[in-house]
Amino acid sequence: MTIQIRPIILNTVKQVPEVLPYLSGEARQFLAGTSARKDAGDYATIRTQMYEAVYGAVSDFLNSNAQTGTYSRLMSAAVSQAYINAADTAYVDGGAELPLDMDTASWARAELNAQFGFIDSLFQTLKALRKEGDFDADAEGTARAEGYAQSLDMLYSGVKMRAAGNVMLTFAGEDGAESCKDCQRYKGQRHRASWWVAHGAIPPSRDFECKGYNCFHRLVDDDGNEFTI
C-alpha cells in the first residue's frame, strides 16, 4: 500500500464512515498512520480524542446553520476510528494477540453499527433543538460526549473480557448512586472472564436493571486490580 493510496481511503471513510470496520487491520493501521495501540494508557488517549470529537460535532452543529449530514458524518468517522482502535487495544490488554478472533470482531462490529443509528437519531434531535432556539451548546456537547465515552468504555471492557478467556475475575466495587438487583446478585461472585461474557454480566451493563449509568461496580483480578472500566 503506497502513500498515494492513503488520501483515497481517507476520502472514502469521510464520505461513508460505515466502511471503516470492514477494512483490514493493515489498512486501518496504514490509515491511522500508526500501529495498533498496546496498552490501557493509549486507551485513555483514544477516549479523549473521541470525547473531544463528539463534543465538537454537537456544539458546533448547534452553533451553525449546517445540514445534519455534515456533522453526523464527522462524528461517525470519529466514533468509527475510536471503536476500532479501542477494540484493538482492549484485545491486547486482555492478553490476546491481534487480529481479533471472528466472534469478537463480529460483536465489536455490531456495537459500532448500532452507534451509527444512534448518531443519526441524535442529530435529528439536535436539529429540532436548534430550531426551538432554547439550548446550551456547551452543556449539550458535554452531555453527549460523556455518554459516548461511557459507551466506548463498555466496548473496551467487552473486548478485553473476550480476549481474557480463563482469567479469574470477581464482581466488586462500591454500590455508588444505584445498586440494582442484578448488581447485588453478582456482587462477590468469582468466575472466569468467559463466564462473565456468556452471562452478559460485565459491569457496568446496560442489560442490568440499573442500566449501568450510576453503577460503580467493576470486575477485578485476584490481585485486586480493576480489569474492567
pLDDT digits (tens, 9 = 90+) for 11-38: 555 455 555 544 545 455 444 444 444 4
pLDDT digits (tens, 9 = 90+) for 151-201: 999 999 999 999 999 999 999 988 866 678 999 999 999 999 999 999 999
**pLDDT, average across residues 103-117:** 94
pLDDT at 212 over 50: yes
What per-residue confidence (pLDDT) applies to 101? 95
pLDDT digits (tens, 9 = 90+) for 57-74: 999 999 999 999 999 999
What CA–CA distances, in Å, run from 44 to 156, 177, 193?
Answer: 11, 24, 22
**Sheet of 216-220, strands arranged across:** 190-192, 168-174, 216-220
pLDDT at 6 over 70: no
Structural domains for the chain: 6-164 (1.20.120), 168-220 (no CATH)
The pTM (predicted TM-score) of the whole model is 0.81
Strand partners, 190: 170
